[in-house]
Amino acid sequence: MKRSKFTEAQIAFALRQSETVTRMEEICWQMGVSQGDIFQLEETIRWFRRSLITQTAAGGR
């Protein structure tokens, strides 16, 4: 798998912020990244959530 350009801390921060009603522009400003970077991060988050759901459905293997 390709290595993410975001650290785990950045991904966790973006996840916490996305669960609130924080606007995307505010998240970008706080993280110091462009909106394009946020779109890439969102794709990483979606992949991570799908893999967790798949692992949970498969019994945690």
Report the distance separating Cα 31 and Cα 37, nearest Å.
10
Q: Which tokens in the block code for residue 23?
A: 């606007």
Whole-angstrom CA distances from 42 to 17, 33, 48, 57, 60 are 12, 13, 10, 22, 24
Q: Which residue has the tokens 């996305």?
A: 18
Q: Which tokens in the block code for residue 9?
A: 């801390």
pTM over 0.85: no
Return the DSSP state at 6. S
Tens digit of pLDDT per residue, the chain (61 long)?
566 677 888 878 877 887 787 787 787 788 888 888 878 877 877 887 788 788 787 775 5
Rounded (10°) CA dihedral 3, 57, 13, 33: 40
